[in-house]
Copies of this chain bind each other. A is one copy, B any other.
Amino acid sequence: MPSAPARSKTQPSTWEKELHRFIEASGNTTHAFGLGRLIGRMYALLYLHPGPLSLERIATDLEISKASASLTIRQLEQWHAVRHVPVSGDRRHFYEAETAFRVIVRDGLLPGIRKKLSSAGDQIGRTLHAGTPSASDDRRASTPDVQLIRKRLKAAASLHRKLDAVLSSRLLENLL
């Protein structure tokens, strides 16, 4: 019998293996939504863990480097998906998952989406503006094509406004 290392590394039980599987699946989900695989894995790890975890512990558990852990944990913080928990007498950083999805959606997800949409909205406005007939032009001066395009741009602008209204209303968060 080989001498066991100090760090307990017993065979994982079925339950623990299932938790690991859950973590991997979470990574796949976030990845499917274009958010990278690590962010989902890390959040799941913290979400499934009662009590805070140190940064290094997170890194070893997920089998990633400290650098990646540091980078990803800050993304999660930006999204309000994770909280930094100071532990007195310990210089290390501990983190725990925000379990109130409502908060994550309200303070993290929706603002992020709105920001991305706003630049799109700006562009719609710019293009629409570039197509407005100048004062010197007679009405009906622009070609039918340009008129059609402007109509479509207006429809896009309208969609953008409605979307933004839904996202900034508390409608969505109240449903969850």
| A interface residue numbers (CB < 8 A to B) | 14-15, 18-19, 21-22, 25-26, 28-29, 32-35, 47-48, 50, 99, 101, 116-117, 119-120, 123-124, 126-127, 130-131, 144-146, 148-149, 152-153, 155-156, 159, 162-163, 166, 172, 175-176
A88 to chain B, nearest CB (A): 23
List residues of chain B with CB within 8 A of the CB of A148.
Answer: 50
- When chains A and B are docked, how far (Å) is the Cα of A140 from the Cα of B71? 40
Quick check: A120 and B26 within 8 Å, CB to CB? yes
Closest to A28 in B: B119
Given A18-B131, A159-B176, is A33 in contact with B152 using a C-beta cutoff of 8 Å? no
Kindly report how many copies of this chain are found in the complex they form together: 2
A166 touching B175, Cβ below 8 Å: yes
Collect the chain B residues with CB atoms within 8 Å of residue A175's CB: 162, 166
What chain B residues lie within 8 Å of A101 (beta carbons)? 155, 159
Q: Is the CB of A116 within 8 A of B33?
A: yes
CB < 8 Å: which of B21, B33, B47, B176 contacts A34? B33
Contact of A29 with B149 at beta-carbon distance under 8 Å, contacts A22-B127, A130-B15, A131-B18 already known:
no
Known: A18-B130, A22-B123, A50-B148. 11 other contacts (CB 8 A): A19-B127, A19-B149, A25-B119, A28-B119, A29-B119, A33-B34, A101-B155, A101-B159, A159-B176, A162-B175, A163-B176
